[in-house]
Structure 1
Amino acid sequence: MPRVTAEHRAARREQILVAAMDCVAREGFHKTTMAHVVSASGLSAGAVYGYFRSKEELISAIADRAVGMVGGVFARAAGQEAVPSPAEVVERVAASIEAQAADHGVDITRVAVAAWAEAVRDEQVHTVVAAKVGQLRERCLEIIRLQQRAGLVDPGGDPHQMAQAMLALFPGFILQRLILGDVTSASLGAGVAGLTYGPAATPAADHTGGSS
């Protein structure tokens, strides 16, 4: 009997994961069953259960993939010699989301939305999603601190609050993309550039027009 290689196992696992994501993108986590995944994968039930012993285990793997899909973009941005501006970081991450939305023919942003919803009701999924969201916010924090040192954002601002604000942009981008269909990574980046334009950050007291 031929030996099953690590590459073969990885490819089979990916095949099952993509099939499951396709089911979730169409039906959501709650309606997706292991029978649906078996049928969509084209494999036997035994093969699928050989990689994922339960629906919960499969859901955790999907949530891990969906929520963690942009971590590499943050890591690359943090490793650049020239620190990117907030608008540049946001546009790059959004562009990565756009690219991965079409990967394997499965819109992973739909899976991400389903993962967020399932995290509210399922403790196991919540644990996976919370860990990934926490990692992404740490990446944002790393970028913000670099931007503060480079003078690209308010050096006196709370970096934790700014990291929260930066991360909050991406679920909004995904929802607008799916529901309104009129937002792109380029338009989001341009919008952030406008919001962070220097003169707009001038304290309100400077615009009162009063004089002593």
Structure 2
Amino acid sequence: MPKVSDEHRTEKRQQIIAATLRCVERDGFHKTTMAAVIEESGLSAGSVYTYFRGKHEIIHAIASSGVTGVKDAIDRLTPEAGSSETPPPPGQALEAATQHLLDFSGQLGIDLPRIALQTWAEAARDDEFLALMAPEARGIRAAWRRYAESAIGSGLLRKDADPDRVAMVLTGMLPGFILQRVVMGDVTPSTYAAGLNDLLGTSG
């Protein structure tokens, strides 16, 4: 029997994760069952259970994978240590992060903002689920902190600005964008960034 390649294994896991996200978007976490995931994935039950023993394992994989890619998107805005490059100003950085979320949603064919709201609601009621989701949130805040340090060093923010506090605020602006996107539907990355520029009294 031929050995299954790592690439094939990764592809199947991603297929199952994407199917789970589609189910969650449609039915919510509680109503999403393994039977629904199996049907949505187009794989056999045996194939799905080969990679995940149950829904909890799939959710753990989703949480630990940083599925939105927001942390990596923020890190790409931050020049490497010792580089002479300048990071984008806060408005542009926020616009890039929120636009990445929407672009990635389009690539997956899934409404990630809607899923994010359901994720937070689940984390608020389930301590185990919260423990799964917290590392990604901490990773996003750490990425914003690295950006803040670079922005302070480049003169984009006050020299006495606290990178930890800046990171807290920028981290909080992502959920604000997502909430308004889902509930009101009229916020865009560009208008959201423009609002931050208005608050800061900057033009970029």
Asked if these proteins are the same fold (TM beyond 0.5), I'd say yes
Q: Aligned residue for 1:115?
A: 119
- Give the Cα–Cα distance (whole angstroms) in 2 for the partners of residues 136 and 68 of structure 1: 10
Moved >4 Å (runs of 4+): 65-68
Q: Secondary structure at the match of 1:102?
A: helix
Match of 1:62 in 2: 62
Q: What displacement does 1:68 show?
A: 4.8
What secondary structure, in the 3-state scheme, does the structure 2 residue paired with 1:46 have? helix
Alignment of 1:1-212 (within 5 A): 1-65=1-65, 68-79=68-79, 81-197=85-201
Distance in 1, matches of 2:181 and 2:191, equals 11
1:30 alignment partner, SS class: coil
| Structure of higher CA gyration radius | 1
Percent of aligned positions that are identical: 39
Structure 2: give runs of 5+ residues left out of the alignment. none
Greater displacement, 154-163 / 130-139: 154-163
Looking at structure 2, the residues matched to 126 and 82 of structure 1 have their Cα atoms a distance apart, in angstroms, of 36
Report the TM-score, using the length of structure 1 for normalisation: 0.87
Assess, with a 3 A threshold, how the Cα gap between structure 1 residues 66 and 15 changes in structure 2: closer, same or farther. same
- In structure 1, stretches of 5+ residues that fail to align are 199-212
Q: State TM-score, norm by structure 2.
A: 0.91
1:2 Cα deviation from its structure 2 partner: 2.9
Q: CA RMSD in A?
A: 1.6
- Partner Cα distance (1:104, 1:97) in 2: 11
Amino acid at match of 2:34: M
- Cα 1:177–1:69 shift into 2, 3 Å: same
Q: Number of paired residues?
A: 198
Displacement after TM superposition at 1:109 (Å): 2.0
The secondary structure found in structure 1 opposite 2:4 is coil
Alpha-carbon distance in 1 for matches of 2:189, 2:162: 26
State how far apart, in whole Å, the 2-side matches of 1:101 and 1:64 are. Answer: 18
